[in-house]
């Protein structure tokens, strides 16, 4: 077999299978190499044995990806961080919302999850020296919650041109779980064309929760969510973009002690989200953000405000970290 440079060079991948793979978003050797056999079976209609051979050949054609910890540290230096409009939240996140990973915020209705989306719609576009990523935003809206009026108020707070800010936010309404997944699959093209630096999914689980009802469909729902989260994680790493997802919660009535609230999606969403924050209401305009999980940051929580101008700081004394 000759040198493998493109998808059609892979064993068992003819023109028809290649076209189906392209349509499904598998356009490069890299995308085939990190796929599972069942993904190729379902997308390209090839047999499992053919899928295994194609993946093995793709992996063989690529660098193994092994690097030293020193090299990995250098790679992490390419990570961008964007402000949330609050010094205390930025400190909690070790400098702000990161690229190359998924950040999940979850909480009950009215805790201000979507306000994080509106704030970052603006801050992502700001210069890097002001805490931005100097890029545009792709906003996947599954609950019809996007409000440009809120974005305008936040942009005015930062002294930005509101018309320009709105033009740099590309909004797609997701009507079903499959439609939401398709939008993520097509996102790689949009990222390149529109200089996207932030992808928002608000809400991650709303469509899945409404379509897959009951324990009988739980396994199907989790499998779909797993595929969806893997696609988002690949985008974050391969395109160096920040991904912010909001998530709904449910209560566990059998829990006698502690907070019975937990996010939808279970371990599949939990493991894929590199940073998880639990939002809850405080008195008046205040909200509490609790860092629940992070690969390298300590647990902690901060108090901040949500006003007409978006997210704002409380006093420094309200920043609390657990030792």
Do residues 153 and 289 both lie within one domain?
yes
**Residue 321 confidence (pLDDT):** 37
Do residues 240 and 286 both lie within one domain?
yes
The first and second tokens of residue 133, run together, are 């990523």
Do residues 18 and 102 both lie within one domain?
no
Do residues 38 and 161 both lie within one domain?
no
DSSP 198-212: EEEEE-SSHHHHHHS
**Residue 64 confidence (pLDDT):** 60
Q: What is the pLDDT of residues 271-286, one digit of tens each?
A: 889 999 999 999 999 9
Give φ, ψ of 85 to 5 degrees: 85, 5
Do residues 104 and 182 both lie within one domain?
yes
Separation CA 195–CA 170 (nearest Å): 11
Q: Looking at residues 289-316, what average pLDDT do you find? A: 92
pTM to 2 decimal places? 0.80
CB-CB contact of 187 with 138 (8 Å) = yes
Task: Tell me if 109 is assigned to some domain.
Answer: yes
Do residues 134 and 57 both lie within one domain?
no
Separation CA 287–CA 217 (nearest Å): 35
The CATH number assigned to the domain holding 208 equals: 3.40.50.300
Q: What is the pLDDT of residues 120-149, one digit of tens each?
A: 999 999 999 999 999 999 999 999 999 999
Number of domains the chain is built from? 2
Separation CA 119–CA 309 (nearest Å): 9
Separation CA 318–CA 15 (nearest Å): 61
CB-CB contact of 53 with 60 (8 Å) = no
Q: Please name every residue paired with 291 in a beta bridge, in sequence order, or none if there are none.
A: 277, 300
**Residue 210 confidence (pLDDT):** 87
Q: Looking at residues 81-98, what average pLDDT do you find? A: 97
Do residues 52 and 77 both lie within one domain?
no
Task: Tell me if 57 is assigned to some domain.
Answer: yes
The first and second tokens of residue 322, run together, are 């657990």
**Residue 206 confidence (pLDDT):** 93
Task: Tell me if 54 is assigned to some domain.
Answer: yes
CA atoms within 13 A on the CB side of 192: 4
Task: Tell me if 206 is assigned to some domain.
Answer: yes
CB-CB contact of 263 with 106 (8 Å) = yes
Task: Tell me if 49 is assigned to some domain.
Answer: yes
Task: Tell me if 68 is assigned to some domain.
Answer: no
Do residues 41 and 81 both lie within one domain?
no
Separation CA 151–CA 232 (nearest Å): 24
Task: Tell me if 1 is assigned to some domain.
Answer: no
**Residue 201 confidence (pLDDT):** 98
The first and second tokens of residue 120, run together, are 């970052």
The first and second tokens of residue 27, run together, are 């356009």
Do residues 182 and 251 both lie within one domain?
yes
Q: What is the pLDDT of residues 240-265, one digit of tens each?
A: 999 999 999 986 655 545 565 788 88
What is the 3-state composition of the chain as percent helix, strand, coil, each rounded to the nearest 5? 45, 20, 35
- The count of other CB atoms within 10 Å of the CB of residue 314 is 19
What are the CA-CA distances from residue 31 to residues 7, 55, 157 (Å)? 9, 9, 41
Three-state SS at 217: helix
Percentage of the chain exceeding pLDDT 90: 67
Instruction: Show the domain range for 55.
Output: 7-61
Q: What is the pLDDT of residues 186-223, one digit of tens each?
A: 998 899 999 999 999 999 999 998 898 877 888 888 88
Task: Tell me if 116 is assigned to some domain.
Answer: yes
**Residue 85 confidence (pLDDT):** 96
Q: What is the pLDDT of residues 42-74, one digit of tens each?
A: 999 999 999 999 999 988 888 666 788 888 888
Separation CA 57–CA 102 (nearest Å): 30
Do residues 31 and 110 both lie within one domain?
no
**Residue 317 confidence (pLDDT):** 46
Give me the helices (H) in the chain, please: 15-23, 29-33, 37-44, 48-61, 69-76, 87-92, 113-123, 148-157, 162-167, 177-185, 187-194, 206-211, 218-239, 266-272
CB-CB contact of 264 with 218 (8 Å) = no
The CATH number assigned to the domain holding 26 equals: 1.10.150.20
Separation CA 153–CA 160 (nearest Å): 10
Do residues 84 and 107 both lie within one domain?
yes
Give φ, ψ of 258 to 5 degrees: 80, -175
Do residues 222 and 88 both lie within one domain?
yes
* Radius of gyration of the chain from its Cα atoms, rounded to whole angstroms: 21
């Amino acid at each position: 077999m000759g040198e493998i440079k493109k998808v059609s060079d892979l064993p068992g991948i003819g023109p028809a299978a290649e076209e189906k793979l392209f349509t499904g978003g598998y356009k490069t050797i890299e995308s085939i190499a990190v796929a599972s056999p069942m993904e190729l079976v379902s997308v390209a209609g090839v047999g499992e044995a053919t899928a295994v051979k194609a993946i093995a050949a793709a992996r063989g054609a690529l660098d193994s990806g092994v690097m030293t910890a020193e090299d990995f540290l250098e790679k992490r230096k390419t990570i961008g961080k964007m402000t949330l409009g609050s010094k205390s939240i930025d400190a909690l996140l070790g400098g702000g919302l990161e690229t190359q990973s998924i950040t999940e915020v979850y909480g009950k209705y009215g805790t201000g999850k979507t306000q994080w989306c509106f704030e970052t719609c603006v801050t992502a576009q700001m210069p890097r020296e002001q805490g931005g990523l100097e890029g545009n935003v792709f906003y996947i809206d599954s609950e019809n919650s996007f409000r440009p009026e809120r974005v305008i108020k936040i942009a005015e707070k930062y002294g930005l041109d509101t018309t320009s800010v709105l033009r740099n936010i590309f909004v797609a309404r997701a009507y079903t779980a499959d439609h939401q997944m398709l939008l993520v699959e097509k996102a790689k093209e949009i990222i390149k064309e529109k200089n996207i630096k932030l992808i928002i999914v608000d809400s991650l689980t709303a469509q899945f929760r409404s379509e897959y009802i009951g324990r009988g469909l739980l396994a199907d729902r989790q499998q779909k969510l797993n595929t969806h989260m893997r696609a988002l994680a690949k985008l974050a790493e391969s395109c160096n973009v920040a991904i912010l997802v909001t998530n709904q919660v449910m209560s566990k009535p059998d829990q006698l002690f502690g907070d019975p609230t937990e996010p939808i999606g279970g371990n599949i969403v939990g493991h894929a989200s590199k940073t998880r924050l639990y939002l809850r209401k405080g008195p008046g305009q205040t909200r509490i953000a609790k860092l629940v999980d992070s690969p390298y940051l300590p647990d902690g929580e901060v108090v901040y405000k949500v006003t007409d101008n978006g997210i704002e700081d409380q006093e420094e004394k309200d920043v609390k970290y657990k030792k």
